[in-house]
Each structure stands twice: as structure tokens, then as C-alpha cells.
Structure 1
């Protein structure tokens, strides 16, 4: 029986690497996979999932208007899909997470979603919020803060390396813009009050 999995973490924990390895395992066994990534994140090129260690794969794009169930139902009708992978799952909408539950429950296709749990202010993203609530299985991928403790927060930094404490929730960037921190260091930079 298919299930919805959510693999979450702070940045630089290997989410994309894990996704690409899992997708490769399915493909190596002759199974058909479908990989999705957010259209708004084009740091590594449109329609690509890339890891920091150099792995990459082509991906379908989703934006806030994509009906995940309709797209996957059509794909599955033309040739069976054995597993769906979602990179940057924090950018899914509530409705899209619900559509993914329909993919699992009605089409019997497992869905593995990978994304950030929280934004630069320590608040959940819409997609992450609903994946945390509705996924069948939750897995935390771990990374470390500069102090050596588990990093479970991400701070947004300005050009001088100082934490930014307001602004739009979504701003695409990598290590030049964000830093993964433990709660203690995150609080000292972002939750100063």
C-alpha cells in the first residue's frame, strides 16, 4: 500500500541527494519515476534537481497552479508511475499536498516529498505545514550548526553576514544567503526580543 513520506530538514542536510539516490534505486530496477521541483527555484537550471555533491536529474516543474493529481493521473494512465519524488516540497500549496494524498490513496503511488520545515523566521512553510500534518511517515534529515549541535533552523543573511529578521517568506538562495543553525544560535540572531 502506497504512503506519503515527508523528509524534512534545515538546508544542507542532503535532501536532494537522498531524493536522487532513491529515484535512482527505482530506475535501476526498471521502475518508472516522476521527479518534480519548484518552478521558482532555478538556481541549477529550469527543470533540474541538483545536489551539492554533483548529482542531478531532470524534473517536471510545479508552481502554485499545478494540479498534482491531474498531472500524475494523466502520466500514470499513459504508462504506470511507480513512485513520485517532490523536491522543494515546502513550496507546495495546501491544495497540492491534499492532491498528493489523493495520488497515494486513489492511484496507489508512493510519494516522497523533500523540503525545509521552517523559513528564516522559524515559521513553517505552507507545504511543510500540511505535509507534517498529513504525511503517513515523517523523517528528519540532520545537518549541523557551526557549533556542532543539530541544526534545525535556517537564518537568512544580508551581504555582510548579518541575520535578516523581516521580509518575504520566499527568497531563493543558497549558502551565500542562508545558514543552518541550532535553535540556540538561531534565537540569538533572529529572536532577539
Structure 2
């Protein structure tokens, strides 16, 4: 039975690595997968899912206007589609997450979405919020804070290396701009009231 899975975490927990491993597992068994990544994040090339440990695969890009159902129906018309895998799922719109539920419920194809739960202020992204509400399975991937506790928040650093407490929700960056931290350390740096 097809289901919608949401694998979420702070940055640097291995989301892209887990996605690429899942894609490899399907492909190794002769199954067809569709990989998608956000057009907004082209740090490693357009249409490329890359992990920090050096693994990568080509993917179809999605933007705010992309229709997942239409694309998956076209893929099914050409043959089989055994799984849909989505990287950077936090950038999905609410409407696109609904489309993913249609792929699962109507097309009977499992969907595995991987993304951040919250932004640098501790607020959910719209895609993550919808996935947390509508996914059949929620799986937390864990990483650690510098203190050794579970890191479930992300701190954005400004140009001077100081924690940002305001700004646009979306700012593409990597380890040079973001640090995963436990709630206590996040609160001390970002929620300084």
C-alpha cells in the first residue's frame, strides 16, 4: 500500500544521503524512481541532489508552479513508476503537498519527502507544515548539537558570524551559514527576549 512519508530534521542530519540510498535501493531492484529537488537550491548544480558525503544523482527540479500529479501521470504513461522521492521538501507549497497525497491515494505510488521542519527562527516552512499534518508516516532523522544533545533547530549566521534573529525565511546556504543546535542553545542565541 502506497504511503506519504516525511523524513524531517535539522540541517546536516543526512536527509539527502538517506534519499539517495532509498533511490539506489529501488533502482538496484530494477524499479523506476522519480527524483525531485527545489529549483531554488542550485548550490551543487541545477537538478542535482547532493549529500555532504559526496553522493549525488540527477533530479527533476520543481518550483512554485510545478504540478507533481501531471508529471507523474506522464511518467506512468511511459511505463512504471515505483516511487517518488523529493529533496528540499520544505520548499513545497501546500497545494503541492496535496498533489503528493493524490499521487499516493489515486496513482498508488509511494512518496518519500525529505526536508527541514523549521527555519532559522524556529517557524515551520509551509511545505513542512502540510507534510507534518498530512503524511502517513513521520520519521525524524537526528543530528547533534555541539553539546552532544539532539539538534532539532537551525541557527542562521550573519556575515559577521553572529546569530540572525530576523530576515527572509529562505536563504540558501550550507555549513558556512547554518549551524544545527539543541533547543536550549537555539533559545539562548535566537529567542533572546
Aligned-residue RMSD, C-alpha: 0.5
Over 4 Å off, 4+ runs: none
Distance 1:123 1:151 in 2: 15
Cα offset, 1:159, TM superposition: 2.2
**1:68-104 deviation per Cα after TM superposition (whole angstroms, max 9, x unaligned):** 1111111111111100000000000000000000000
SS in 2 for 1:7: strand
SS in 1 for 2:154: strand
**1:143-184 deviation per Cα after TM superposition (whole angstroms, max 9, x unaligned):** 000110000000110122210111110000000000000000
SS in 2 for 1:113: strand
Structure 2 residue aligned with 1:131: 131
Distance 2:83 2:67 in 1: 17
Task: Spell out the pairing of 1:87-98 with structure 2 (5 A cutoff).
Answer: 87-98=87-98
Residue 13 of structure 2 is aligned to residue 36 of structure 1: no
Structure 1 residue aligned with 2:54: 54
**1:90-147 deviation per Cα after TM superposition (whole angstroms, max 9, x unaligned):** 0000000000000000000000000000000000000000000000000000000011
Unaligned runs of 5+ in 1: none
- Equivalent pairs counted in the alignment come to 193
Unaligned runs of 5+ in 2: none
Structure 1 residue aligned with 2:106: 106
TM-score (normalizing by structure 2) = 0.99
Structure 2 residue aligned with 1:160: 160
Structure 2 residue aligned with 1:73: 73
SS in 2 for 1:107: coil
Distance 2:16 2:143 in 1: 13
**1:37-88 deviation per Cα after TM superposition (whole angstroms, max 9, x unaligned):** 0000000000000000000000000001001111111111111110000000
Structure 1 residue aligned with 2:192: 192
TM-score (normalizing by structure 1) = 0.99
Cα offset, 1:34, TM superposition: 0.5
Residue 20 of structure 2 is aligned to residue 8 of structure 1: no
SS in 2 for 1:77: helix
Distance 1:100 1:132 in 2: 13
